[in-house]
Amino acid sequence: MDNNENIDLIPVEDVLTFWDILTPDERNFIKNTLSVQHFKKNEVIQREGDKPTHLMILASGNVKVSKMGTNNRIQIVRILKPGEHFGFRAIIANEPNSTTVTSFEESMVYSICAEHFISILKNNNAFCYRFLEELAFDLAKSDARTVNLTQKHIRGRLAGALCALIENYGLEEDGATISIYLAREDLANLSNMTTSNAIRTLAIFANEGIIALDGRKIKIIDMEKLQRTSKYG
């Protein structure tokens, strides 16, 4: 596996979405100080409450960002795909991590030391602005999620989560199967419900011809009905 790491590792330039706005010096510096880490399935990459040490960029795999709530109930607040960053909010706010990041599957992560990251933020205005934009998008998404999770009923919440997954990960070549296979429990933590209810409601959706299930594969049969369910329950 260690051998494979090097083989399918995506080069920095292709993963870092902010590569274009770095100066040649910054690029060299990052290339020289960047580190790569490999994570197995279900490994914790970053823990809520810990001091943040690195800006991290997901090179491959998928990770979930979650918060621990009451009675050890987990709330997944977002899911990241390759090219997306994490760990920077806490660095910028100079606070402990407010979330835990865990790999869903085998994942590769590039990381840039917090001090270097801040130093670039404070010297490269365009870089700083890029992250400002990113946080502006994330904040709106977070507020929207609050409303979705608090005001919709179970059917609407689950349908909404499925729509969000499609938007984020897209569909496979068949144009129907969602390109990420989550455990029912993760789906539940994403939609703010118990695992039982996620399972039950998925079965109901399948019965109604909205989706078809094959293990963790979810195939969308009636996209319009799914979106209607997300809106009206």
* Residues at the interface with a second copy (CB under 8 A): 67, 69-71, 73, 75, 77, 89-90, 92-93, 95, 98-99, 121-126, 128-129, 131-133, 135-140, 142-152, 156, 192, 233
In the complex, minimum distance from the CB of residue 208 to DNA, in angstroms, rounded to a whole number: 13
In the complex, minimum distance from the CB of residue 29 to DNA, in angstroms, rounded to a whole number: 40
Query: Cα-Cα-Cα-Cα dihedral of 206, 210, 213, 218, to 10°?
Result: -150
In the complex, minimum distance from the CB of residue 159 to DNA, in angstroms, rounded to a whole number: 12
Which option in a second copy, DNA, none does residue 136 bind, with CB closer than 5 to 8 A by kind? a second copy
- Cα separation, 46 vs 201, in Å, equals 32
**Which chain residues interact with DNA by CB under 7 A?**
71, 153-155, 183-185, 192-197, 199-200, 202-203, 213, 215-216
Which option in DNA, a second copy, none does residue 209 bind, with CB closer than 5 to 8 A by kind? none
- Give the residue with the Cβ less far from a second copy, 53 or 124: 124
- Give the residue with the Cβ less far from DNA, 6 or 72: 72
DSSP 3-state assignment of 154? helix
- Give the residue with the Cβ less far from DNA, 26 or 186: 186
Pair 148, 193: CB distance under 8 Å: no
Which option in a second copy, DNA, none does residue 44 bind, with CB closer than 5 to 8 A by kind? none
In the complex, minimum distance from the CB of residue 140 to a second copy, in angstroms, rounded to a whole number: 4
Cα-based distances in Å from 156 to 148, 161, 166, 173, 226: 8, 9, 15, 27, 9
In this structure, what token pair is assigned to residue 37? 């880490």
Which option in a second copy, DNA, none does residue 151 bind, with CB closer than 5 to 8 A by kind? a second copy
- Give the residue with the Cβ less far from DNA, 179 or 197: 197
Which option in DNA, a second copy, none does residue 183 bind, with CB closer than 5 to 8 A by kind? DNA
Longest dimension (CA), the chain: 58
In the complex, minimum distance from the CB of residue 43 to DNA, in angstroms, rounded to a whole number: 13
79 sits in the region (left: phi over 0; alpha: psi -120 to 50; else beta) called: beta
Which option in DNA, a second copy, none does residue 216 bind, with CB closer than 5 to 8 A by kind? DNA
Element (H, E) at 212: strand 211-214
DSSP secondary structure letters along 76-99: EEEEE-TT-EESHHHHHHTS--SS
In the complex, minimum distance from the CB of residue 161 to DNA, in angstroms, rounded to a whole number: 13
Phi/psi at 67 (5° precision): -125, 145
Tokens 């977070």, located at residue:
142
